[in-house]
Amino acid sequence: MIRLDSLDHLVLTVADIPRSIAFYTEVLGMREERFGAGRSALRFGDQKINLHQAGREFEPKAARPGPGTADLCFLTSVPVAGVIAALQRHGVAVEEGPVARTGARGPILSVYLRDPDGNLIEIANPAG
């Protein structure tokens, strides 16, 4: 039997890589990383998000890659109220929240927003 231990990276297909890098670094505090032959990624903690330019994806790729098709949840130690305040400072609308949800490790308190491509981004605190 295969036993998976953790997520190493995921791939987001985006309409505009520089615009996505600006959003994820300036608003969400990720770090830009360059690798390979001009590839771009966003690093946070021990994980990263590799970015593919829509229409110029690297092979192999998802069967139907496209901007705005992801729904991602990130955990933060910053209290949700602080997340909301930071989003407001950047002019990013909170789509929903704070709301109680269930994460992989138990209860979480979440806020939802959209990235420049319309991907749904959930930022959460572990609750309890």
Cis-peptide, bond into residue 98, ω within 30° of zero: yes
For domain 9-126, which CATH number applies: 3.30.70.20, 3.10.180.10, 3.40.50.150, 3.30.460.80?
Answer: 3.10.180.10
- Answer yes or no: pTM beyond 0.75: yes
Is residue 122 flagged as an active site residue? yes
Q: Looking at residue 37, what is its pLDDT?
A: 86
**Model confidence pLDDT, tens digit, residues 27-70:** 999 999 999 989 999 999 999 999 999 999 989 999 999 999 99
Q: List the domain boundaries for the chain.
A: 9-126
Q: Which one is catalytic: 26, 57, 95, 122?
A: 122
Measured CA to CA, the distance from residue 108 to residue 113 in angstroms comes to 16
